[in-house]
Homo-oligomer: A and B are copies of this chain.
Amino acid sequence: MQANIQLDDTDARILTALSADSRRSYADVAAEVGLSTAAVHERVKKMLERGVIERFSLRVDPERVGLHFTAFVAIRNDGGAHCRDIAPRLRELPEVLELHSVAGEYDFLAKVRTTHARGLEDVLYQIKAIPGVARTTSTVVLNTEFEERPLRWPGSAPAA
């Protein structure tokens, strides 16, 4: 809930550089942003402490590990006492990669990935078995055009 109060242009450039390749050496990044290695190190450390950088990660191609099927599942709850418990239960399902509570006709929107269409059926059975889940509607993804883009925010530089 904190804004980018203490993120200057240099921080933004470091984030841009490391978003594209987080294993780049700080020496290399330092040369690009015009700072010493130690200074880049210090800034990264502070961004980790402040939670701006959540973690260093890597992007795996879902197709190459056999996850050929993607769907968005909208979930409606029944308005009963179990509503608060639905999200934790959905977190237990590894196929649910992403979960948002949303406004509108449905209460949650989940991104689900499985090896094939048949796998979604299994996941839907599990979701429907969660107490408080009233109904679901699935939207099948035909093709993912792009995903997990490096973030851009007011004040951040476009990726080179």
Contacts and interface: CB of A to CB of B under 8 A. Distances in A.
Interface of A: 1-4, 7, 15, 18-23, 50-68, 70, 72, 87, 90-91, 94-95, 97-104, 106, 108-109, 113, 115, 139-156, 158
6 contacts: A53-B60, A54-B60, A62-B151, A98-B147, A98-B149, A115-B153
A154 to B, nearest CB: 6
B64 A109 contact: no
B56 A60 contact: no
A101 B22 contact: no
A59 to B, nearest CB: 4
A33 to B, nearest CB: 16
Given A20-B57, A58-B53, A61-B51, A67 B103 contact: no
